[in-house]
Amino acid sequence: MTLFNRITLCLVFLTMACQLVTPNKEVTSGTLDLRSFTWKTGKAIKLHGEWKFYPHTLGDLPPDVSYTLLPVPALWNEVPLRSGIENGK
C-alpha cells in the first residue's frame, strides 16, 4: 500500500469518526436539555459542563440535600477542598 493510499484511508476514517458525536450541548447547573435531540441518529452526547455532585448520597435524593457544582471534563484533585469533604471521602 502506498503512502498516499494510507493517508487517504486515515483521512476517511477520521472524517467518519467525527460524525459520531453530536454538536455540543452544554450542561448548566447540573441540567442537560435533550428535548430537541434526535435519538435515532445513534450519535454520542458530550457531557461537558457543570454537574451537580452530591457527597455521601446515592439513589433517591431528598429535596433539601446540598450539592456542589463540578466541571466536567476536569481534574478532580481539588474536589475535597471545593466540596468541603475531608480527604476526598
Q: What is the pLDDT of residues 32-58, one digit of tens each?
A: 888 877 778 777 788 888 888 887 778
Write down the pTM of the prediction.
Answer: 0.51
Q: Is 10 left (phi over 0), alpha (psi -120 to 50) or beta?
A: alpha
Are the beta carbons of 66 and 83 closer than 8 angstroms? no
Residue with the three cell numbers 503512502: 3
Nearest in space to 23 (alpha carbons), one of 4, 9, 41? 41
pLDDT at position 89 is: 47
Tens digit of each residue's pLDDT (9 = 90 or more) over 16-26 = 665 555 556 67
Task: Give dist(CA 37, CA 21) in Å, integer.
Answer: 12
Residue 34: domain span: 3-88
Give the total number of structural domains in the chain: 1
